[in-house]
């Protein structure tokens, strides 16, 4: 185990994630496997070469470990993987996480460690319609680093995994992991927990809607400042008022 992962030993993370002991792999992965044959930009390659100190394949969870195979949307889930990436620098963590998710065709949870802190990353994937057998990454989630996030991600993950008893399928297990990341992101932004009855996909939809509305409000506010005509100012002001009301309503749908 890499020394920087001191917030909780890798075994403790695996217990919190509900990873069976027999699913552990504990094998080093060389960076060239991420780089060879990949469609990466020069910036992508630079991020992997400069920022990643070590990659460890921690676990590969399969049906023989007591979980049914399943589906996440249109993506078959014959296995779920857990990786640990030790980083020298965390400034490009989202780029690094995205590259890892693109290179692995299965759902994977990435533990990222740097500066005595840990972040987690999960992703939504689907089968490509343009290229047979290829997997497309639709969305990548990266949690806050453990020193910046409340409550601790380890505890949040453990609660999500334990909720409703042991997950019956691989897709259910991964959905619980992703749900914990979504809840942490919403809590950090709103200071409130999302509604427990909402599925992770619905939480993500509402979160995306909030991001869109916030961008629209910012854009309209910028236009209002530069607008000189009174009637147009009134129109933009009404638009901002409508957008803010819609934003408040979306937050109400999302949080308790």
Interatomic CA distance for residues 45 and 42, integer angstroms: 5
121 pLDDT more than 50: yes
Give the model's pLDDT for residue 39: 82
The token pair at 236 is 């933009």
Interatomic CA distance for residues 93 and 164, integer angstroms: 32
Q: Averaged over 67-88, what is the pLDDT?
A: 90
Interatomic CA distance for residues 61 and 28, integer angstroms: 17
Predicted confidence band of residue 2 (pLDDT cuts 50, 70, 90): very low
Q: Averaged over 242-251, what is the pLDDT?
A: 95
Predicted confidence band of residue 101 (pLDDT cuts 50, 70, 90): very high
**pLDDT averaged over every residue in the chain:** 86
148 pLDDT more than 70: no
Calculate the alpha carbon distances from 14 to 21, 113, 118, 139, 213 in Å.
8, 15, 14, 24, 37
**What separation, in Å, do the N-terminal and C-terminal C-alpha atoms of the chain show?**
39
Predicted confidence band of residue 3 (pLDDT cuts 50, 70, 90): very low
Interatomic CA distance for residues 97 and 170, integer angstroms: 21
Length of the chain: 256
Q: Where are the domains of the chain?
A: 10-190, 200-254
Question: Which residues are 54's β-sheet partners?
Answer: 86
Task: Classify 105 as helix, strand or coil.
Answer: coil
In 3-state terms, the chain is what percent helix, strand and coil (to 5)? 45, 25, 30
In Å, how far from its chain's centre is CA 57?
Answer: 18
Give the model's pLDDT for residue 68: 93
6 pLDDT more than 70: no
Give yes or no for a cis peptide into 151 (omega within 30° of 0): yes
* Least confident among 30-39, 45-54, 148-157, 199-208: 148-157
Of the ranges 17-31, 32-46, 124-138, 181-195, which is most confident? 17-31
126 pLDDT more than 50: yes
62 pLDDT more than 60: yes
């Amino acid at each position: 185990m890499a020394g920087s992962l001191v917030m909780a030993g890798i075994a403790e993370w695996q217990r919190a994630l509900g990873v069976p002991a027999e699913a552990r792999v504990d094998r080093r992965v060389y960076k060239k496997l991420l780089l060879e044959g990949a469609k990466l930009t020069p910036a992508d390659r630079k991020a992997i070469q400069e920022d990643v100190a070590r990659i460890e394949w921690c676990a590969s969870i399969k049906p023989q470990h007591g979980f049914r195979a399943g589906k996440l949307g249109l993506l078959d889930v014959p296995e779920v993987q857990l990786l640990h990436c030790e980083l020298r620098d965390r400034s490009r963590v989202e780029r690094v996480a995205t590259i890892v998710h693109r290179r692995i065709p299965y759902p994977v949870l990435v533990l990222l460690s740097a500066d005595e802190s840990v972040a987690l990353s999960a992703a939504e994937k689907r089968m490509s319609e343009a290229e047979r057998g290829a997997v497309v990454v639709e969305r990548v989630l990266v949690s806050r680093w453990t020193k910046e996030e409340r409550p601790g991600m380890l505890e949040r993950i453990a609660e999500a995994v334990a909720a409703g008893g042991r997950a019956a399928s691989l897709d259910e297990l991964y959905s619980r992991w992703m749900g914990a990341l979504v809840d942490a992101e919403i809590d950090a932004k709103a200071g409130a927990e999302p509604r427990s009855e909402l599925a992770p996909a619905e939480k993500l939809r509402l979160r995306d809607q909030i991001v869109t509305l916030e961008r629209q409000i910012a854009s309209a506010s910028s236009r209002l400042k530069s607008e000189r005509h009174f009637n147009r100012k009134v129109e933009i002001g009404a638009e901002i008022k409508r957008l803010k009301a819609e934003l408040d309503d979306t937050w109400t749908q999302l949080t308790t």
